[in-house]
Amino acid sequence: MDSVRQFQVTFDCAEPARVGRFWCAVLGYDPVVPRGFDTWEAYEGSLPAGDRGAWFACADPTGVGPRLYLQRVPEGKTVKNRLHLDVRVGTGLVGGERLAALEAECARLVGLGGERVVLLPADGENESCLVMRDVEGNEFCLD
C-alpha cells in the first residue's frame, strides 16, 4: 500500500450531539459545521423537528486525527464495545508519573460526564491504563 487512507470513527448512540461534544472536549476536536451555517446550533435549528439530533460530527482542528461521526440509532448499548478508543495521555511515561497523568485526565473527564471503570495496573508486559466510559456508556481507555 502506497499511502495510509483517511478514515472516520462512527459511533451509534442515542444523543449524537451530547456524545460528540463529550469527545470534542476529550480530544480537543471541533464540531463539523455543515456548509452554509455559522454554528452547529444554526444548522440544527434549520431542520424539521423530527430530523434534529440525528447526527453530529467533529474533527481534529489540525487535520491529523480521524473525524468522528455520531449517528442516532433506536437501540441502546447492551454489551461491551467490540471496538474502543485508546486516548493516549501517558505515552512515554512509566510508573508513578504515568499513573499521575492517567488519574489527572480521568478526573477531568469525570467532570465532563465520563465514568471511571477500572485501573489496569502495569503487569511487566504492559504499562498501566485506565478503563472509562463516555456519557452513553461506551468504553474507552486512557493509555
Site of grid cell 444523543: 15
Are residues 138 and 84 in contact, defined by beta-carbon separation less than 8 angstroms?
yes
The pTM (predicted TM-score) of the whole model is: 0.89
Q: Which pLDDT tens digit goes with each residue over 27-44?
A: 999 999 999 999 999 999
Residues 44 and 95 in one domain: no
* Domain CATH number, residue 49: 3.30.720
Q: Which pLDDT tens digit goes with each residue over 101-135?
A: 999 999 999 999 999 999 999 998 889 999 999 99
Q: Which of 21, 42, 72 is the last residue of a domain?
A: 72
Q: What is the pLDDT of residue 1?
A: 54
Residue 77 lies in a domain: no
Residues 61 and 96 in one domain: no
C-alpha 18/C-alpha 22 separation (Å) is 6
**What's the domain range around 108?**
85-142
Q: What is the pLDDT of residue 89?
A: 94
Residues 93 and 62 in one domain: no
| Structural domain count of the chain | 2
Q: Which of 72, 105, 124 is the last residue of a domain?
A: 72
Residues 66 and 120 in one domain: no
Q: Give the rounded percent of residues in the chain with a pLDDT score beyond 90.
A: 82
C-alpha 101/C-alpha 89 separation (Å) is 7
Residues 98 and 134 in one domain: yes
Residues 67 and 89 in one domain: no
Residues 12 and 68 in one domain: yes
Q: What is the pLDDT of residue 78?
A: 83
